[in-house]
Amino acid sequence: MERRIIEFLKENKETFISGEEISRKLKVTRTAVWKHIQNLKENGYEIVAQPHYGYRLAGIPDKLLPDEISYRLNTKIFGKRIFSYVSTTSTNDVAYMLAEQSMPEGALILSEKQTKGRGRMGRQWASPPGGGLYFSVILRPKITPTEAGKITLMASISIAKVIRDSFGLEAVIKWPNDVYIGREKICGILTEMNAEQDGINFIILGIGINLNTAPGSLPKGAASLMCKTKKQVNRIEFLQKLLCELELHYLKIKNLKFEEIITQWRDLSMTLGRRVKVKWRSNLIEGQAMDIDSFGALIVRDDFGFFHHILSGDVSVMK
């Protein structure tokens, strides 16, 4: 009911709506309307009550409320189910557990903060509360484990594109999974999978974006979008755009149009054409980053002219 009241108020954002009209429209008593309005206010909604005029929605709370995320969300898969936490160990862990219990593809798990946020290769991912966007999506693509890199690539493209389109900032991708603005990391991606050799059972796509995070609470080398735009970013709007973009690119993978993703990735990459150093366990390869292949592996040509297809490792771009 509260959801319906908010939707009604949203549709009439410019004017006051009387309690009587709400009560008539939604078929509840005026006392019930009043009670729901009080609840909504407690949840952070700014609702102005003007005697003789009624109610008007003046502000939406800066919370990752499922109702706000799904309001007019234009997707068919991503975010059709939403689980929003104030705090959790890691949204990837929750998503993994839900996926094991047959939760369908597209389910979205968010948290205002993570107590054990993880990055690639068991590293920590700083997840302070206050303006970050930490979420995971359950995916069930019919691909092999070797192709899992495609999901990471399509996610990094989607994020870079939404940042570019929304704020005009030059977001670039560092292979395979980081989004940078200038020299600072804005976003990380952690793709985890449950698979057999023949195919993936499910993938958890985990994304952490520093949206409005205060610079002081971020590690060195990281920045938030707010630092760059100099104003608060609307998290819900950003998330909705991102979910649409992710779905768009995900469908390309499903429809075997990965070549389109590679093309876009090339345009957004800060790695290609540069001299790079790749570390992977005891291996160290230095050379020119040439391209990515049809599995999403980075192709590096070393100084002897040999080509290496690199599916995992730490890449640093040299000056």
> By the criterion CB under 8 A, which residues form the site for a second copy?
120-121, 142, 144-146, 148-149, 152, 176, 190-199, 201, 281, 311-313
Nearer to a second copy (CB atom), residue 158 or residue 212: 158
Nearer to a second copy (CB atom), residue 148 or residue 225: 148
Least distance (Å) between residue 198 CB and a second copy: 4
Q: How far apart are CA 35 and CA 166, in angstroms?
A: 38
Taking 3-state DSSP, the helix, strand and coil percentages for the chain, each rounded to the nearest 5, stand at 35, 30, 35
Nearer to a second copy (CB atom), residue 57 or residue 278: 278
DSSP 8-state assignment for residue 9: H
What does the block give as tokens for 75? 């997707």
Q: How far apart are CA 229 and CA 250, in angstroms?
A: 28
Least distance (Å) between residue 96 CB and a second copy: 8
Nearer to a second copy (CB atom), residue 38 or residue 194: 194
CA 270 from centroid of its chain's CA atoms? 20
102: Cα within 13 Å, side-chain hemisphere: 0
Nearer to a second copy (CB atom), residue 121 or residue 318: 121
| Local structure of 282: helix, strand or coil | coil
Least distance (Å) between residue 255 CB and a second copy: 13
Least distance (Å) between residue 196 CB and a second copy: 5
Phi and psi angles of residue 70, each rounded to the nearest 5 degrees, phi first: -85, -10
Least distance (Å) between residue 99 CB and a second copy: 11
